Amino acid sequence: MLFFHRGLQSLVAIELKIGSFKAEYVGKMNLYLSLLDKLERGENENPSIGIILCADKDHLDVEIALQDINKPIGVAEYQLLLPKDELQALVLNEINATEGESEQE
């Protein structure tokens, strides 16, 4: 997702990952920010910012992955409102209901 923060005068790229943090996510975000700064950033805008949202992260892994990166990249965890098992069951029920409706037509 790409947003523009008026107060910061900066593009903000947010990447949502469904699993745990992996170091390669930082490299991808670094590439995305470089492209945004080169191709999309206006002359009066500040450098682009990257946020990686993961289901889980190890703080040491994140610290090491970001160690020599000079771009503003942050990594954060998110939490589902439903436990994973309940969410999975809910999604499967919806898929099955949708398939059942299409078979009846």
Checking if the pLDDT of 103 tops 90, the result is no
Q: What is the mean pLDDT of residues 65-77?
A: 94
pLDDT tens for residues 16-54? 998 999 999 999 999 999 999 999 999 999 999 999 999
72-75, long-range: CB < 8 A, 24+ apart: 72/33, 72/47, 72/48, 73/26, 73/29, 73/30, 73/33, 73/49, 74/49, 74/50, 75/21, 75/25, 75/26, 75/51
What pLDDT is stored for residue 98 in this prediction?
82
Checking if the pLDDT of 91 tops 80, the result is yes
Alpha carbons 103 and 83: distance in angstroms, whole number: 30
